Amino acid sequence: MKKGITRFNYFLDQLQALLDSASKQKNPALWLYQNNARTPLFMLEALSKLYSGIHDKKKFSKLDAQFKLLEDILGAVDYYDVFAKEFITNKDIPVTVTGYLQAQAREKIQSLNEALKEHGWLGTENKRIDKIRKKLKDADWKKDGSEIKSIKGFYDKAIAEIVAFTGKTDFHFANVESDVHELRRKLRWLSIYPQALRGAIQLSKVKTPPKYLSKYLTKDIITSPFNKMPDAADNQHFLLLEQNYFYALSSMIAQLGILKDSGLRVIAIKEALQQFSLMSNAVALKKAYTYAGSGQPHLKQVLDKADAICKTYFKEQDLQKLVIGTAATLK
């Protein structure tokens, strides 16, 4: 069996097991959220994105849309739930703010329950995953060596698109969600594909890195389990990424994640405040900063910091140095 379909089946098996258990629950969507269904959905979404770029675009784009629908809703649940739990212990934040966020999380859970039912993901008579498996079985999969070369081309194109995305603003970000969060998403996919491909992407042997990379090569980054490639297993063809530049990519994802969360924290409070009054954006933001506490940076500070670290990273052309090439064996 070709590697492509086995990768999908591996994560489809995980998702099927979760859905089977969720079907027995009073609130299937809540159970899926609490049991990390988002991870296999992320992996399936990653595979669908990648294969839509190197295979049958129409077929795999449709699969991507199916997985993305569920993953996006789970992401929305997480957004409101995480901030609600954080704020509930903060006496400076009004209960109306926390209550609104909790209500939004429940609303998203209900949306997921409806999507699961509408699109046939749950129950013995619902055959969504069976239909997906049939589509995958009918796909004309490439041979492993040819596929790896196509994956390299996919990476090269994705990197070029990210560089172009940053070039549009010249690193002057104006919005936490559409600029910082979106850039982080694009970078993050490059780190998710290796996990989804289950050993077909490996890091190069350790080399002495340029001194300027030391700012990225922290202990937390180097020892992170997320930066360890899956075992090569029975793969015989590989895409090689340069280890130190992969760590640099991971560091950027982490730094932008901290900044993104900091900015979204204020935006979440602002959104809640405006549900209960006719506050202008300026007034609601001012109150949100007060409620968030003295350690909360203003959105402009968040954006300026994102500007600075991205400008340095892309000026160094670290992302363009990530991909080494392909190999038939690992030394």
- 67-113 pLDDT tens trace: 999 999 999 999 999 999 999 999 889 999 999 999 999 999 999 99
CA distance 258 to 249: 15
**Structure tokens of 21?**
């258990």
**Judgement on whether residues 92 and 153 belong to the same structural domain of the protein:** no
For residues 17 and 94, what is the distance between their CA atoms, to the nearest angstrom?
40
Range of the structural domain that residue 39 is part of = 3-137
Is residue 211 located within the same domain as residue 170?
yes
3-state secondary structure of 306: helix
At which of 109, 137, 165 does a domain end?
A: 137
Q: Which of 85, 107, 137 is where one domain is finished?
A: 137
Q: Examine the domain organization and report whether 65 and 198 are in the same domain.
A: no
Residues 32 and 113 in one domain: yes
The predicted model gives 215-239 an average pLDDT of 94
Do 218 and 195 have their domain in common?
A: yes
- For residue 296, pLDDT over 80 is answered with yes
Average pLDDT across the chain, whole number: 94
Q: State how far the Cα of 98 lies from the Cα of 90, in Å rounded to an integer.
A: 10
- Helix 144-169 to helix 299-315 angle (10° resolution) is 130
Instruction: Please indicate, yes or no, whether residues 132 and 148 belong to a single structural domain of this protein.
Output: no
* Paired tokens of 215: 């700012």
* Total tally of structural domains belonging to the chain: 2
Please indicate, yes or no, whether residues 122 and 246 belong to a single structural domain of this protein.
no
195 & 173 share domain: yes
Looking at the fold, whether 123 and 190 belong to one and the same domain comes out as no
What are phi and psi for residue 324, nearest 5 degrees?
Answer: -90, -50
* Beta bridge pairs of residue 203: 241
Sequence length of the chain is 331
Residue type, position 168, single letter? K
Domain boundary among 137, 168, 195: 137
Backbone angles phi, psi at 240, to 5 degrees: -105, 130
Q: Give the number of C-alpha atoms closer than 13 A to the C-alpha of residue 187, restricted to the C-beta side.
A: 29
For residue 317, the Cα-to-chain-centroid distance in whole angstroms is: 22
- Clarify whether residues 129 and 155 are in a common domain: no
- Residue written as tokens 């988002």? 38
Contact 202, 329 (CB under 8 A): no
Q: Is the dihedral of CA 86, 90, 92, 97 positive or negative?
A: positive
Give the contacts of 160 (CB within 8 A, at least 6 positions apart): none
Instruction: Tell whether pTM > 0.75.
Output: yes
Report the distance separating Cα 218 and Cα 248, nearest Å.
Answer: 9
- Is the per-residue pLDDT at 125 higher than 70? no
Task: Categorize the per-residue pLDDT at 294 as very low, low, confident or very high, splitting at 50, 70 and 90.
Answer: confident
92 & 162 share domain: no
Is pLDDT at 197 greater than 80 in this prediction? yes
Please tell me which residue, 62 or 170, carries the higher pLDDT value. Answer: 62
Residues 111 and 149 in one domain: no
